[in-house]
Amino acid sequence: MPRKKQYLDESEGRLVDDLWTDIYPVNSQALEDTGYATQKPEALLERIIRASSDENDLVLDCFCGSGTTPAIAEKLGRRWIACDLGRFAIHTTRKRLLGIEGVRPFVVQNLGKYERQVWQKAEFGERAEATVRAYRRFILDLYHAEPVEGYAWLHGKKGGRMVHVGTVDTPVALGDVKQIAIEFRRAIGTGKGAPQLAGVDVLGWDFALDMNETAKQIAQEAGLDVRFVRIPREVLEKKAVEQGDIRFFELAALSVDVQVKGRELAVTLTDFMVPPDDVPEDVIKAVKHWSEWIDYWAVDFNYRDDTFHNEWQSYRTRKDRGLTLSVRNKYEQPGTYTALVKVIDILGNDTTKGITVEVH
């Protein structure tokens, strides 16, 4: 009988099995453990990414969890997009990426909550313009504000201040604040319902990350006092609305001390306040000092109104709960710089503050 003789060095090998038993789950003693319930081993994602992509390819993880996929993609020189609905997942992923030596700049974007679109249509109908009008009146009523007509960005007034109601499907962004300021300046004192005081309450379900303090500064430069107020999730619950259990809270506030000596900048956090609407009561009682609200903070000493670069950061780990509250930076050249301070609280929310620095 004819037989085929095949030498080992001529063989292409065999197909990889679809059952991998050589990679073990992440246990509590593992160095890579983040404490996230569904965390996958880095070795597993490294094998998958190496086998299915080349350097500089784009890797997408729609349910990133603790961020194993983007972390390994970053280490292997791939571009990546990571998504998740949970703030804790995004927060865990971001901290994990910051821990990678030489990590490239990346942006965290909030794309909104699409279940609210369904709620809006169910409550206020299918006709686009009428639906939006009815939705705004509903929110203004809960906020105890009076509706005003004739404006695109100003929807109500309360206690001498104008009120803007953000849409259900997108977060309030920096561009919205600029448009509000422009319309406010044109409208002030020009007729019935026109704003009389230079103040606006901006109501939103979500706010673009990196916006709060920065947007306030832009509004102040335009002579406008802006308050950012979160629309609580309880608005979606008919029972809570009927019982009047709706409370609105302002976003977190950050205080920073800035000292410039020659070409050296010193930045020190001096206070940080988190509104209590999303915070469990036991957590509030456990916090003894304002700094305990902060999980980590970072500074981009050369912010150019583009991607935030983590040029310096201090963050808590499970082994080290301490946090450095002051940092110094020496500029090589004299000039005007913008330093952007970013604080991420224990709930995963961002608060930022821009600082204009003149060095000689």
Q: What is the mean pLDDT of residues 193-219?
A: 74
User: What mean pLDDT, rounded, does the chain reach?
Assistant: 85
* Domain assignment of residue 296, given as a range: 252-359
> Mapping DSSP to helix (H, G, I), strand (E, B) and coil, where does residue 42 land?
helix
β-bridge mates for residue 227, sequence order: 201
Average pLDDT, integer, range 226-230: 87
The reply to whether 2 falls in a domain is: no
More confident residue, 330 or 285: 330
Looking at the structure, tell me whether residues 158 and 41 fall in a common domain: no
Burial class of residue 263 in the structure, from the number of CB atoms within 10 Å of its CB (0-12 exposed, 13-18 middle, 19+ buried)? middle
Nearest to 250 by CA among 295, 201, 216, 311: 201
SS3 content of the chain, % helix, strand, coil (to 5): 30, 25, 45
134 and 125 Cβ atoms separated by less than 8 Å: yes
User: If 0-12 CB within 10 Å is exposed, 13-18 middle and 19+ buried, where does residue 202 land?
Assistant: buried
In the predicted structure, residue 244 carries a pLDDT above the cut 90: no
Co-location of 218 and 304 in the same domain: no
What gap in Å lies between CA 215 and CA 39, rounded to an integer?
36
Residue 171: phi and psi, rounded to 5, are -70, 155
Is the per-residue pLDDT at 222 higher than 80? no
Question: How sure is the predictor about 171, in pLDDT bands with cuts at 50, 70 and 90?
Answer: confident
What is the C-alpha separation between 106 and 116, in angstroms, rounded?
28
Highest mean pLDDT of the ranges 108-122, 130-144, 215-229, 270-284: 130-144
**Based on the structure, what is the number of domains in the chain?**
3
Q: Is residue 161 part of a domain?
A: yes
- 203 and 258 co-located in one domain: no
Q: Is 4 within a domain?
A: no
Same domain, 266 and 319: yes
Do residue 241 and residue 278 come from a single domain? Answer: no
The β-bridge partners of 257 are 268
Among residues 65, 33, 26, which one has the least CA distance to residue 319?
Answer: 33
**Do 123 and 243 lie in a common domain?**
yes
Amino acid type, 33: D
Token output for 299 = 């500074």
- 196 vs 136 pLDDT, higher one: 136
Concatenated DSSP letters for 332-348? SS-EEEEEEEEEEETTS
Determine the pLDDT at residue 73: 97
Q: Can you list the pairs that 333-336 forms with residues at least 24 positions away whose Cβ atoms lie under 8 Å?
A: 333/263, 334/263, 334/359, 334/360, 335/359
- Per-residue burial over 323-357, b if 16 or more Cβ lie within 10 Å, else e, is eeeebebebeeeeebebbbbbbbbbbbbbbbbbeb
* 216 and 126 assigned to the same domain: yes
pLDDT > 70? residue 276 = no
The residues, ordered by sequence, that sit 6+ positions from 51 with a Cβ below 8 Å of its Cβ are 16
pLDDT bucket at 136, cuts 50 / 70 / 90:
very high
Residues 204 and 311 in one domain: no
Looking at the chain, the whole-number percentage of residues with pLDDT higher than 70 is 92
Query: Of 11-20, 148-157, 208-217, 318-327, which one has max mean pLDDT?
Result: 148-157
CB 26 within 8 A of CB 41: yes
**Res 211 pLDDT > 70:** no
Q: How far apart are CA 147 and CA 103, in angstroms?
A: 48
Has residue 345 got a pLDDT over 90? no
Q: Flag whether pLDDT at 245 surpasses 60.
A: yes
Please indicate, yes or no, whether residues 68 and 149 belong to a single structural domain of this protein.
no
Query: What is the rounded distance in angstroms from the CA atom of residue 234 to the CA atom of residue 245?
Result: 8
Structural domain ending residue among the three candidates 249, 275, 300:
249
Name the residue with higher pLDDT: 277 or 181: 181
Check which CATH number belongs to the domain holding 73 and give it: 3.40.50.150
Q: Which of 128, 172, 163, 126 is nearest to 144 (CA)?
A: 163
Average pLDDT over residues 319-329: 89
Residue 213's pLDDT is 66
Mean pLDDT calculated for residue range 44-64? 96
- Encode burial over 227-236: b for 16+ CB neighbours within 10 A, e otherwise: bbbbbbeebb
Confidence (pLDDT) at 112: 58
Assigned domain for 3 exists: no
Lowest mean pLDDT among 21-25, 119-123, 151-155, 262-266: 119-123
pLDDT in tens, 79-121: 999 998 777 788 889 888 988 888 888 888 766 566 677 778 7
For range 195-202, the mean pLDDT: 78
Domain at 317, CATH number: 2.60.40.10
Please report which helix (H) or strand (E) contains residue 353, including its range.
Answer: strand 350-359
Does residue 355 form part of some domain? Answer: yes
